[in-house]
Every structure is written in C-alpha cells, then in structure tokens.
Amino acid sequence: MDLISFLALLIFFGGYTLITLEHKLGTNKSAISLVLGATLWILASFVVPKDVISHLLHDTGTEIFSIVAFLLAAMALVEILIHYRFFDIIRTKLAKLHLKDKKQFAIMGVLTFFLSAVLDNLTVTIVMIQIARQFFTGKNLIISAAGIVILANAGGAWSPIGDVTTIMLWLADKFSAMEIITHTFIPSAILGLISGGLIMRQLEDTKKDLIKDADIRLSRGERTVITVALMSFSLPVIMNLVGLPPYLGLLLGLGIVWGLIEYAKYRSKTPTHLNANIERLLQKTDIASLQFFIGILLAVSALNAFGLLEQISVFVFGENQEILRVAIGSVIIGLLSAIVDNVPLTALSIDLIKITDPYIWTFIALTVGTGGSALVVGSVSGVVAMGMVKDLTFENYLKIATVPALVGYFAAVIAYAIIFYLFDRGAFLTLLPVTNLL
C-alpha cells in the first residue's frame, strides 16, 4: 500500500468516526460526508489515471442519481400524504376504539410494521410517535416509542422501498422486489412479534383520557390525491418488472399526483387542503440526508478507485468469499450497525462482497436493517425518537428495548436460515463444513 492510499484509508476512518460521534460532538454528518467524499477523490487523482477516474466517477454518478431521485420523489410523496391528513385519519380512527394501552400499542405496532414497508421507516417513526403522544403518558410513552423504533426498522427490512439500505441494495440489482419480500417477510415479522411482545409486556395497562377529535372530512379530490399518492409507491416495482429503473416509477407517480393536485385545485369550488402550495411541500424534504448519501457513496467509490476495497474484502471475507463466512460476517455487520451508521456499512458491503446469490443479499438487508435497533443511536429512527421523546435516553432505551431487540434479531436470523433450508436445501447444505457427512 502506497503512502497516499494509506492516507486515504486513515481519512476515511477518521471521517467515519466523526459521523458516528455526530450526536456527541454536535457535528453534522452530511457536511462531514461531503468533505470526506470530495477529499478522497482529490487524493485519488494523484495516483489513478484520469481516464480511469472519469469512468469510475461516471458509474458512481449514475448510482448516486438513481438513489437521490428515488428518495427525493419518495420524500415528496410522503410530505403530500402528511399535508392531506392521511396520518391524522389513522389517529382519529384509533382514538374511536377507546383501547387500553397494551391493545393500543399492539394495533399501532402492526400499523408501524406494515406502513414502514410502503413508506420509509423514518417517516413512519415520526408519525407514529406523534400519534403515540396522544395515547400514552409517562413511562408508557417511553416504552411505546422504543417499540415503534424496533417495529419500524423491522417493517422497513422486508420491502425494497422500506429502508434506505434496502433501496440501495435493490437499486444495485442485488435482489428483486419479490426476492426481498419472500425471503425476509417472515423473519421480519417474527422479529416484530417477539420484540414487540417483550416490549408490550412492560406497559402498564392503563388508558389516557383523550380530547375528542372532530371527524376529518375529506373532499372527493382529497381522497383521490391520497389514493393516487399511496398507489405511486407500487410503481417502482412495476418499472423494475419491465426492465426500467425503479426511480422512474416514483418520479412518474409524483408527477401524476402533482398534476392531479393542480387540476383539483383549479376545479375546487371551496377552500380545502387542495389549495396547497406543492412547491413549499417539496421544499420540506430532507435534503440534508440526501447530501449525506451522496458524500458516503463518493467516499466508498473513491476507496474502490484506490483498490483498497479489494484488499479489505480479502482480509474480511477471504479470497474465495465462502458463503458461510459472508453470512456470519453479515450477522456481525448487523450488530455493528447498532454502533455505526448502516448506510456506509451497506455501501461498503455492495462493493466488498462479490457473491451474487440473492439469499445472501436479502440476508444482509435483514441484518443491517434490523441490527441497529439494539441501541437507540443505531438507526436514524432511534435518533429521531430520542429527539421527539426527551425521556427516551440512551440508558432508558438500553433497559427497555436492547434485550427485546437482540432476542428478536437472533430469532429472525434463525428463521431466515430455516427458510433458506426449506426453499433452497441444496444451496443451504453447501454452506456447511459437514456437507460431506450428510
């Protein structure tokens, strides 16, 4: 390894450390990632031929565009759903049930699990904790918030669009939409049931007196906008099936919803939510997170330009990358994501792991997507929950949720292994060192 390559590796791990310690140091991980990505490419320009750099940056730019376009459209659609009171309707429906806290949490947990698969788990965490504030108080609010984090991460792990990491892997063609759903739904559901059940047992079965909400009445145009916006999240899968990039589906859906809103606003005779300024809604999207993804992808691709990823891959997974060794590494990576951000871990996995078997990649999606639930700082959902519920401290989450999260995590890993064995027994047996004895 030459001096510049060694320096690049030091800078990468230094930047990675600053990103990990963002909440303690008060730094901004988006700014750090952008500086990190640009700096590494500047260093690469001293040792990598210009034509090679041009080719690599072109490929990286294509990858970045597909992810950013996808996430930008998804964020915009979610903002539209929020404005058109889709989640307020859910809250009022739940309030009418007049349930005690344990049953209330069970229903909210199921909604969190499935909504996270359709929308992104971060948005669902924010919305469901806002709803939880209406139903829970005191310790029950802290417990329910911790449970929502775990269930949101579990729900996002079995869908190609449920989590940033699954989106990254899906757009990188590591698995199909059907493969991620069929391979990981049952393990994710088992994780949710076990972890959610252990969390629910800690709740006191009381009931908060609610202020009665007025019924939300939607106009026909508003109902149409909500329906079309929700249906738009199925378009990426359809585009993928016909051989087109998934982001085209969400861009198409956003364009249709936007045009529908403008048309309905023009036709509306009475003041409604249809009078929204869509440009302002789009400005509410989390641009800082998109900048973070851009910087991380640039940094990882720069390491690849140095040839460092190949050396790291051989050191971690071996020269031949045996599937069993990669599978064990995936479990460790999942647990590691409770300490460091899972986006860089996923980006590194995409470039480090050369195995093409979709079972490995859906397993990585499961472990990286859910392992971060072990600690409150291990996922973006957990960090946001800390900000929304001030008493959900690192220590409180550790006492309430770490054991349930880990028990659910290892149960999901075992469930995945059983599914792999049942549906692809031949491939599963090749993983075992005792294959010749069977």
What per-residue confidence (pLDDT) applies to 188?
96
CA gap 300, 290 in Å, rounded: 16
pTM: 0.79
Angle at 175 between CA 169 and CA 178, to 5 degrees: 120
DSSP code, position 378: G
In contact, 401 and 373? CB cutoff 8 Å: yes
pLDDT of residue 438: 42
Question: What's the CA gap between 350 and 315, in Å, rounded?
Answer: 16
Per the CB < 8 A criterion, the answer to whether 274 and 221 are in contact is yes
Alpha carbons 291 and 31: distance in angstroms, whole number:
8
- Read off the amino acid at residue 352: L
| DSSP states along 286-335 | -HHHHHHHHHHHHHHHHHHHHTHHHHHHHHHHTTTT-HHHHHHHHHHHHH
The whole-angstrom separation of Cα 246 and Cα 238 is 8
Distances (CA, A) of 146 to 72, 264, 402: 27, 40, 9
What's CA 389's distance to the chain center, in Å?
Answer: 21
- Look up residue 48 and give its two tokens: 């990598």
Query: Could you read off the pLDDT tens digit of each residue along the chain, which spans 438 residues?
Result: 678 888 988 998 888 788 777 767 777 788 888 999 999 999 988 888 888 888 888 888 888 888 888 888 888 888 888 888 888 888 888 888 778 889 999 999 999 999 999 887 888 888 898 888 888 888 999 999 999 999 999 999 999 988 888 988 998 889 999 999 999 999 999 999 999 999 999 998 777 665 566 667 777 888 888 899 989 988 988 998 888 888 899 999 999 998 888 887 776 665 555 555 666 666 666 677 788 888 888 888 888 888 877 777 676 676 676 778 888 888 988 888 887 667 777 888 888 888 888 888 999 999 999 998 998 877 878 878 887 888 888 889 999 999 999 999 999 999 998 888 777 655 555 555 544 434
Give the model's pLDDT for residue 436.
Answer: 41
Tally Cβ neighbours within 10 Å of residue 85: 16
pLDDT at 435: 43
Q: What is the spatial distance between Cα 209 and Cα 212, in angstroms, rounded to a whole number?
A: 9
Q: How many residues does the chain have?
A: 438
**Using alpha carbons only, how large is the chain's radius of gyration in Å?**
22
- Report the C-alpha dihedral over residues 20, 23, 25, 26, rounded to 10 degrees: 130
